[in-house]
Homo-oligomer: A and B are copies of this chain.
Amino acid sequence: MDIKAYLKQQAEFINKKIQEYIPLGTPEKLFEAMAYSLNAGGKRLRPVLILESAKAAGKEDINDIADIAVAAEFVHTYSLIHDDLPAMDDDDLRRGKPTCHKVFGEAIAILAGDGLQSYAFELISQNKSVPPEKLVKVINLLAHGTGIYGMVGGQAADILHEKENAFDDIQFIHTHKTAKFIQSCCQIGAVLADATAKEEEALKNYGLYIGLAFQIWDDVLDEIGDEKKLGKKTRKDREKNKLTYPALYGIEKSKKIAKDYIEKAIEEIKILKSPEILQEIAKYIISREV
């Protein structure tokens, strides 16, 4: 199968669903800022993983959980807006477009991020098809994977570098900043598909492994990638003296570590009803040029 074409088509489905669930209201500039960042494009990997994990575990109709997938993208978008702020990564461009605070100012960018986070939980809590006990579990997984024990904790670690040695430090950062959110998306898919405990565990491990590989591959692309294809500046990590896999292990060993994670991910989900697409996604993660 042409996984690249398939993922593009799935991203388009998510884009359509984002339009359906995008919040409208006043003050206009706040809602414009949120829409601006939500519509800035991207692979929509996290919502796609929620839906594909659910399908892999046997869920046939995913229309009643599309709002939950969209909510995950809202959280991802909030994290990008806050990440780009002058006090954080101080980025002027994202995917070739001016960042949210460059267009709307810092105060509105902070609030747009805050609002996208709360609206993600508001959206999930409004779903009428999924039983409440599952919604509570989904909310728990999303909050946990993206909060202080997940993404937010990882972002803070990436700023603070509290660990004694660089290897522990980067492992903590990659696991928390990137992998835990991706992991929670795969687990959310499992919960929504009524997966067995064994299936959920497999998807949880799959999510962790592809999440780690994803971040290593991002670091590698920053080092060797084509600026035009990526649509963003490369060698940024090096300029900022960031702790990365290539810096610690070199390019070739980094690639090898990512490849090993992907193999483990593929192995993990063999027990699922239809693991093929998730397995292709895993392979795609370490073949992508953007």
Say whether A147 contacts B162, CB under 8 Å.
Answer: no
Let me know if A117 is at the binding interface, CB within 8 A: yes
State which of B79, B143, B160 has its C-beta within 8 Å of the C-beta of A122: B143
Write the A131-149 contact mask toward B (1 if CB under 8 angstroms, else 0): 1110111011001101111
Say whether A148 contacts B108, CB under 8 Å.
Answer: no
Q: Given A85-B110, A114-B82, A139-B125 in contact, is the A153-B26 Cβ separation under 8 Å?
A: yes
Please provide the chain A residues from 227 to 264 with a CB less than 8 Å away from any CB of chain B in the complex: none
State which of B26, B79, B110 has its C-beta within 8 Å of the C-beta of A87: B110
Residues of the B chain whose Cβ atoms lie less than 8 Å from the Cβ of A79? 114
Please provide the chain A residues from 90 to 127 with a CB less than 8 Å away from any CB of chain B in the complex: 105-108, 110-111, 113-115, 117-119, 121-122, 124-126
State which of B108, B122, B143 has its C-beta within 8 Å of the C-beta of A119: B143
Chain B residue, CB-CB nearest to A173: B27
Stretch at the interface among A4-12, A28-36, A58-66: A28-36
Chain B residue, CB-CB nearest to A75: B118
Say whether B88 contacts A149, CB under 8 Å.
Answer: no
Q: Min CB distance, A192 to chain B, in Å? A: 15
State which of B30, B78, B153, B155 has its C-beta within 8 Å of the C-beta of A153: B30
Copies held by the complex: 2
Say whether A148 contacts B31, CB under 8 Å.
Answer: yes
Q: Min CB distance, A251 to chain B, in Å? A: 28
Say whether A106 contacts B87, CB under 8 Å.
Answer: yes
Let me know if A80 is at the binding interface, CB within 8 A: no
Say whether B114 contacts A152, CB under 8 Å.
Answer: yes
Q: How far is the CA of A53 from the CA of B28 in the complex (A)?
A: 34
20 extra A-B contacts, CB within 8 A, seeds A25-B149, A30-B156, A122-B143: A26-B162, A26-B172, A27-B153, A27-B157, A28-B162, A29-B160, A82-B110, A85-B87, A107-B159, A113-B114, A114-B114, A115-B153, A117-B117, A117-B118, A118-B146, A118-B152, A119-B143, A121-B121, A122-B144, A125-B140
Question: Could you jot down 29 A-B contacts, CB within 8 Å?
Answer: A23-B149, A26-B153, A27-B153, A27-B160, A29-B156, A29-B160, A30-B156, A30-B157, A30-B160, A79-B114, A87-B105, A87-B107, A107-B159, A111-B155, A111-B159, A115-B148, A115-B152, A117-B118, A118-B146, A118-B147, A118-B148, A119-B143, A119-B147, A121-B121, A125-B143, A132-B132, A132-B136, A135-B136, A136-B136
